[in-house]
Amino acid sequence: MSQHDGVHGEAGATSDKAEKDVTANGDTTGAASTDASLEGRAKSSKRRGGGKSKAWLWSLIAVIVVAALVVGVNAFFTNKQDGANGAGGAKTADTVAIGLKLAPVNLDIRHQSGSALEQILIGNVYESLVSRGSDNKVHPGLAKSWDVSKDGLTYTFHLNDHMNFSNGDTLDAEDVAWSINELKARKYYNYDQVANLDKAEAVDARTVKLTLSAPDSNMLWYLTGRPGLVYDKDATWDEKTGALGSGPYTVESFDPSDKIVFKANPKYWGSAHKAKTENVIIRFLPDDNAGINALKSGDVQVLSPITATLAGLFRDNPDYVVKAGDGSDKFVLAFNMTDAKLKDKRVRQAIRYAIDHKQLIASRGGVDAKLGGPIPKVDPGYEDLTGVYPHDAAKAKRLMKEAGYSESKPLQLTLTYANVYGTELGDQLKSQLKPIGIDLKIDYVEFSTWLQDVHTNGDYELSLVDHAESHDFYKWATPSYYYHYDNTQVQDLYAKALAATTDEQASNYLAKAAKIVSEDAPDDWLFSWRVTIAYAKGVHGFPQNLSQTVLPLWRITYEK
């Protein structure tokens, strides 16, 4: 187990020994008149000669020494100032502004849904028992280490010393156990993720024991999110407009229609995640043009995400940096497995062969990645499955012909998806499927309608959605989910993955299950969305990967 706490160097931390030496050993008073004094002594020595020459020499040496010390003092203070301002005289700002698309409705992380809430609060204001890094792996958090029993039923966490909440209250094992037990008892948001967790106990002030009813290889990962958050059991606060945690930042103000302002927590217990910038402002900019204008004008120094096709405005500008990072978003073209037309595997296979993923990705700016199966690159069990159904229009036509369809006798199918994704994807799919004998009708609906008709009722033929969640393979092992995919072999492999007591075992089972799912073709994975980020030159510490879910603000700095 390794801990990634980041590098905490002290840039510009220069010793003040030189300044002290000058004060003790070299009186620089009157240094400005040294040149005139030296000129007078030089003329006098030439006239007098003899025994006075040594005195003149010593005076000259003294003057040179004093001058050298003056230059040294000036250089010291100049270097010290440059160190404070950064290389080349750049000044480190005490405020960084970040533009994000999504805003939380409120800050009640125990009850309110929404990934935006987790993105901005977890690891910044609230801390969890264990933390999640930008590599999507589990790292130490409030617990510095942990032990798992061989049967996978007992987790023992060893907490850091001298922890406290932002109000100064001590954070110990009682707060941890109380927070987890309250999650279960009061059914706070995502309590169902830790269904196998029976209870949490404070063994002593710095030791917590969790007891499970059955092994769950996802348990540690879930504890990096809401189920693992620790609250002050003795404090109260307005949970909708404020937050009280143990993280490196506190909430200064919050307006869901505008911004949230964070201030460095002066009572933060840790050193590894101590805030590097005093103030961080997150502005909520759902409109693309508003976001671009805010970055151009300097209202924000970071814009995440930015549409890849619009990022060209900044990509060739030396004052900005543009990057794309991996995430867990999967754009899925789902096939309703209970639909009579789509029960024919040949039709599903033909659709997968017909789709030109390269063309789809190119139209979106060329930064997204191909994804041939249900597990994204950042998740355990990932394997490159893009070769299972490579683009092959000829093979797609043959399969459709076998199923009884052609371009002159097309199969009528309806693609229902939320209009928040725009019309371009639907139009492209319609165009790509027409030559193989599929007449695709596009039904754009409101997202609320999609949730009710497709996600809840399963009333659709084809659908399209961005599934952003990580570790969400359970959907393929749950026949009641809106895919209606029912494969007992996959369900068995997923159960074995959950019961595995090592990460390697769990990943192996997941990889086997994912390959079966891909070969069955219950949907097509159009692409894995790679988030494009643009930021001003001088910004450091903004995460490149998983920034939609993990946003460690304590790392961020900005040199003007």
Structural domains in the chain, sorted by start: 92-301+538-559 (3.40.190.10), 326-529 (3.10.105.10)
Contact 203, 212 (CB under 8 A): no
In this predicted structure, what is the pLDDT of residue 65? 45
Residue ranges of the chain with per-residue pLDDT less than 70: 1-89
Judge contact between 296 and 307, C-beta under 8 A.
Answer: no
Does this model's pTM top 0.85? no
DSSP string covering 104-123: -S-S-TTT---HHHHHHHBT
Contact 103, 286 (CB under 8 A): yes
Q: How far is CA 511 from CA 380, 496, 526, in A?
A: 8, 12, 19
How far, in Å, CA of 506 to CA of 503, rounded? 5
pLDDT of 89: 65
pLDDT at 52: 40
Backbone angles phi, psi at 341, to 5 degrees: -70, -35
Pairing of the two strands 138-140 and 130-132 = antiparallel
For tokens 């990934």, what's the residue? 115
Cβ neighbors of 294 (< 8 A, separation 6 or more) are 99, 283, 285, 300, 303
Is 260 within 8 Å of 120 (Cβ atoms)?
yes
Cα separations in angstroms, 418 against 209, 379, 450, 454: 44, 26, 6, 10
Residues near 203 by beta carbon (within 8 Å), at least 6 away in sequence:
156, 173, 209
Report the run of H or E that residue 487 belongs to, with start and end.
none
Dist CA 233 CA 238 (whole Å): 14
Residue 88: what pLDDT?
Answer: 54
- How many Cα neighbours within 13 Å face the side chain of 546? 19
Structure token digits, residue 112: 């309110």
pLDDT tens per residue, range 149-171: 999 999 999 999 999 999 999 99
What residue ranges in 37-129 does DSSP mark as E strands?
A: 95-100
Residue 229: partners with Cβ closer than 8 Å, 6 or more residues away: 109, 122, 126, 127, 128, 179, 245
